[in-house]
Amino acid sequence: MHKDTMNILVSIGGGPEAYEALAFAALLSRRQCTDTSLLTVREPDSGLHSGGLELRVAREQMLGWGLELPGLKRLKKARDIFAELGEIPGQESVQLEHRAISGDPAGEYVVSYNTPCGGTVALHLRSGTDIPGVIAEQCDIEDVDIAIVGAPGENPTGFKKLVSATPMAYRIAQRLPCPIIIARRLKAEGAILAVLDGSGLAAGCLPRLAKIARACGIPLSVASTAGMEVIEKARRALPLDSPPIDETFEVENSAEAVLAAAEDYTLVALPAPVGKLRGSMVEKVMENAPISVMIIR
Amino acid sequence: MIHWAYDKRWLLITLAAVGILLLLPVPPGLTSAGWKVLVMTLAATTLFIKEPVPLPSVALLIVLGQIFLLGLDSSDVARSLMKDAVLFIMGSLMLAVAMVKQQLDKRLALVIVKATGTNTYRIALGISVVSGLLASFIGEHTVAAMMLPVALTLIQLAEEDEERRRRLALLFLFSISYACCMAGIGTPSGGARNAIMIEYWGDFFHKPSDPATAIYDVGYGQWMLFAYPVFLAQLPFMHWILRKTFPAPSEDLSHAVRRLREQVGKQGSLQGRHYATIVIFLLTVTAWILFSTEVGMGTIAIAGAASFLLAGLVRWEDLNSGVNWGVVLLYGAAISLGQQMQETGAAAWVAAGFLDMLVPLGLGSGIGLLACIMLLTTAMTNTMSNGAAVAVLGPIVLSIAVEAGANPLAAGFITAMASSFAYLTVIGTPASSIVRSSGYLASADFLKAGWRLALMSFIILIIFAKFYWPFLGG
């Protein structure tokens, strides 16, 4: 059954792109009355790397001096941004939970706030070594409709690319079971381009994209790599209250063509089921697009 | 399943490689047992570096490999896991937790700012000196954990702007971590790697019936004679490199120092538990210097930890949660595997191969050989924990020294000391991991300062190996 409200998850890793994307999430929260989760995952303390002395001992020292731990600091910054945007009216939390789900025995924390429209904003602090796995698990627990992750900085080239590990944002994109936006200066402005490939996955996501476009007050265009009839079929399946589609056109099924077609947009959405992203055209678009990329699932 | 396989790819690759290598014919010059131990060591090294599974599970695999692949008796394997070095590592870790729990850090903060005044660079130097002097005796992780909140408090009091705060954090936090790294070699109690090397010297070369081998029964004081001057020589250069690499956003911190004094001043004067902590610590260090040869460093470390417990200065629950016991098990297993490398001749075989490569290049002896050992250790220690690097490399390096006719003491000291040159990455040393937990430092920052410091440390270590150690019999 399709839900009425959207659940949004924003992964706060400390990078600037995720903080910038909070304005986008806040707008959706206001216009669509979403339930928004802000999630920070920190790696549990590793005793070997600290020579056998648990890092917890150092963290307790920091707390003893009244200093905040980095994970909490990041979440608080995100909360403050949300508060400034008017989505958290006061500083009073409605619910504070301490969970010991997995990872660090110190536990995991959730603080929830009510938004003015009746939705919620929840701050989650979790721990785990497999960060993409923890975020994927959170998507399942929260039944997330869209996850937002800040894009990494510039892509490494040459030798640096050879020795560099896959950036965390891309590793998360490979794992998440729900649609995910790799945010690059993600703002509720410009226009959205949905690229359909003839699959039910892409067509099925179009109503949600239309909802986002309407919430942001920006146009939605649709391109197809599998002929214009795919677009017509998807258009007919849109709910009646959907905003009109701005532009429709065909595009070649290659990363270069999609990147060229997406030049004038702020967000491009493409379908890639879980497990099919690595080595695909969508992965190339995700890594090389100068704009935000949404992977439809 | 695909994600599990992808995440565990290094475990699967390692297990497959072990299977294939064990099916291959044993290389000439190596016994069957030696080949199996060598394959196990390669597998353990890969798992240490890539960490596809929790590291204590590597220890369990080593134990199982010794029983099922080498056919050793399980009681013998169990016995080989608990040496004086392992007891020492265990006791030192308990001492570390006990010391940190006494909250002497606030007093240290006062001592530093009292001595240095309000100049940023003098405070950075003061942090390095205090961190270094303490870390040389009680372990770099202890000092890093104690000094981290001191530096962070100063940083937060000094700067409001995030960028300026980060610039100050680079100077102060690296002043802690690199001082701790360099100081960790100063005495045997500075780090697990030192105890492991002492264990190897004793096991491989010291024969109680042969007085000529007594030099290999390295005591606390003897280690200090070799190593402490190397640490002291590095300290001023380290400070100079850090201040050039990470200039402070402001040279005066009077406002922050005044607020720190107010904050810390509320603690009042030293209490009985603080005096008791200082007395137990001094007694432990004195006992290490005077009696470690007779009763073993591990015994004294355990006695120190027991004293804290008996005096009621620390709870067992604190020790239990503050020490990662898996690490103790891991070091025990790594030392046990190192012994097997020696006993089966695998270490000598690798050493001979290594020397065959070096001799044509004119690096098969003297300072050239020591420099190669140093570079090899530095490369290893930047990819895995320094204790693990010494545990893996120790038997090979000591065998190289024997094959090349070099002094195993010098080769061992070079290895143990170069294992602290893990300046380039976060994972190499405990202090780096601890200061990075502040959230201020990025991996690239370690590279920026690390290569300069590594170059400086190489030069100083070679100078000491060439001109100072020969006077001490090394």
Say what the pTM is. 0.74
Paired tokens of B194: 């030192």
Q: Does domain A7-183 have CATH number 3.40.50.620?
A: yes
pLDDT exceeds 70 at position A289:
yes
Of residues B168 and B1, more confidently modeled: B168
Written as one letter, the residue type at B208 is P
In this complex, is the C-beta atom of B229 within 8 Å of any C-beta atom belonging to chain A?
A: no
Q: Which positions 298-327 of B are in contact with A (Cβ < 8 Å)?
A: 321-324, 326-327
Interface contacts (A, B; CB < 8 Å): 113
pLDDT exceeds 90 at position B364:
no
Nearest CA in chain A to B4: A133
Domain borders along chain A are: 7-183, 192-296
Q: Which of the four CATH numbers 3.40.50.300, 3.40.50.2300, 3.50.50.60, 3.40.50.620 does domain A192-296 have?
A: 3.40.50.620
> pLDDT value at position A90?
62
pLDDT exceeds 50 at position A1:
no
Cβ–Cβ gap A53/B149 under 8 Å = no
Residue B398 near residue B412 (C-beta atoms within 8 A)? yes
Cβ–Cβ gap A133/B3 under 8 Å = yes
Overall average pLDDT of the B9-21 stretch: 92
ipTM of the complex: 0.71
Cβ–Cβ gap B141/A61 under 8 Å = no
> pLDDT value at position B60?
93
Overall average pLDDT of the A269-284 stretch: 88
**Out of A50, A71, A130, whose CB is closest to B430?**
A50
> pLDDT value at position A103?
47
Cβ–Cβ gap A50/B439 under 8 Å = no
Residue B56 near residue B333 (C-beta atoms within 8 A)? no
To the nearest whole angstrom, how far is the Cα of A146 from the nearest Cα of chain B?
21
Q: Is the dihedral of CA A223, A227, A232, A234 positive or negative?
A: negative
Cβ–Cβ gap B152/A62 under 8 Å = yes
pLDDT exceeds 60 at position B304:
yes
A192-296 matches A7-183 in CATH topology:
yes
To the nearest whole angstrom, how far is the Cα of A179 from the nearest Cα of chain B?
18
CB neighbours of B157 closer than 8 A, spacing ≥ 6?
A: B255, B256, B259, B260
Overall average pLDDT of the B62-67 stretch: 93
Residue B162 binned pLDDT confidence (cut-offs 50, 70, 90): confident
**Out of B3, B96, B385, whose CB is closest to A53?**
B96
pLDDT exceeds 50 at position B325:
yes
Domain borders along chain B are: 7-79, 103-268+345-472
Phi, psi of A43 (to 5 degrees): -70, 140
Residue A182 binned pLDDT confidence (cut-offs 50, 70, 90): very high
Cβ–Cβ gap A58/B148 under 8 Å = yes
pLDDT digits 0-9 by tens, A120-142? 888 888 877 788 988 998 999 88
**% of chain B exceeding 90 in pLDDT:** 35
> pLDDT value at position B435?
86
Overall average pLDDT of the B253-275 stretch: 82
Paired tokens of B161: 């702007």
For the ranges A158-172, A176-190, B156-170, the lowest mean pLDDT is seen at: A158-172
Cβ–Cβ gap A67/B430 under 8 Å = no
pLDDT digits 0-9 by tens, B388-445? 888 888 999 999 998 888 889 999 999 999 988 888 877 667 788 788 878 788 878 8
> pLDDT value at position A104?
52
For the ranges A155-159, A248-252, B288-292, the lowest mean pLDDT is seen at: A155-159
Average per-residue pLDDT for chain A? 83
Spatial separation of the C-alpha atoms in residues A215 and A198, rounded to whole Å: 26
pLDDT digits 0-9 by tens, A220-274? 999 999 888 888 888 888 887 777 888 999 999 999 999 999 998 999 999 998 8
Spatial separation of the C-alpha atoms in residues B153 and B109, rounded to whole Å: 10
> pLDDT value at position A148?
95
Residue A71 binned pLDDT confidence (cut-offs 50, 70, 90): confident
Of residues B142 and B267, more confidently modeled: B142
In this complex, is the C-beta atom of A33 within 8 Å of any C-beta atom belonging to chain B?
A: no
Cβ–Cβ gap A275/B142 under 8 Å = no
